[in-house]
């Protein structure tokens, strides 16, 4: 969220740049002049560890201090929003070995 707000606040993204009618796949990281190369690139504005790793890990520190009930409620709200956006229920594979599914 912080990243999105900064993109708008710094004029690097406009509301007209966002495809609200589709599923979001047409939304791309805006191009910006890469100071290293002098060429247009999405790298300076990308949501990457280089650009946002420190801030993201700081949020994780704060989140880890929250009671489980708050984390579960936020996950439920995010899931409901995703279902509303996609229009279908997300299928969950309880048997997956993907590391992202093994966090808890």
- Phi/psi at 26 (nearest 5 deg)? -85, -10
**Could you tell me if 32 and 44 are in contact, meaning their C-beta atoms sit under 8 angstroms apart?**
yes
- What are the tens digits of pLDDT across the range 8-49? 787 777 666 666 666 666 667 777 777 788 888 887 777 888
Contacts of 28 (CB under 8 A, 6+ apart): 42
7 pLDDT above the threshold of 80: no
- Residues 76 and 84: their CA atoms lie apart, in Å, by 12
**Could you tell me if 51 and 57 are in contact, meaning their C-beta atoms sit under 8 angstroms apart?**
no
- Phi/psi at 91 (nearest 5 deg)? -85, 130
pLDDT attached to residue 73: 93
Across the range 57-77, mean pLDDT stands at 90
67 pLDDT above the threshold of 90: yes
User: How much of the chain exceeds pLDDT 90, in percent?
Assistant: 6
pLDDT attached to residue 83: 77
DSSP conformation letters of 52-71: HHHHHHHHHHHHHTS-HHHH
Length of the chain: 104
When the pLDDT of each residue in the chain is averaged and rounded to a whole number, the result is 78
């Amino acid at each position: 969220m912080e990243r999105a707000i900064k993109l708008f606040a710094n004029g690097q993204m406009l509301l007209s740049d966002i495809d609200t009618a589709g599923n979001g796949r047409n939304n791309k990281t805006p191009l910006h002049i890469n100071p290293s190369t002098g060429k247009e690139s999405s790298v300076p504005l990308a949501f990457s560890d280089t650009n946002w790793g420190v801030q993201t890990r700081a949020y994780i520190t704060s989140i880890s201090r929250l009671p489980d009930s708050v984390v579960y409620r936020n996950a439920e709200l995010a899931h409901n929003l995703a279902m509303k956006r996609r229009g279908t229920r997300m299928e969950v594979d309880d048997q997956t070995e993907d590391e992202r599914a093994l966090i808890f």
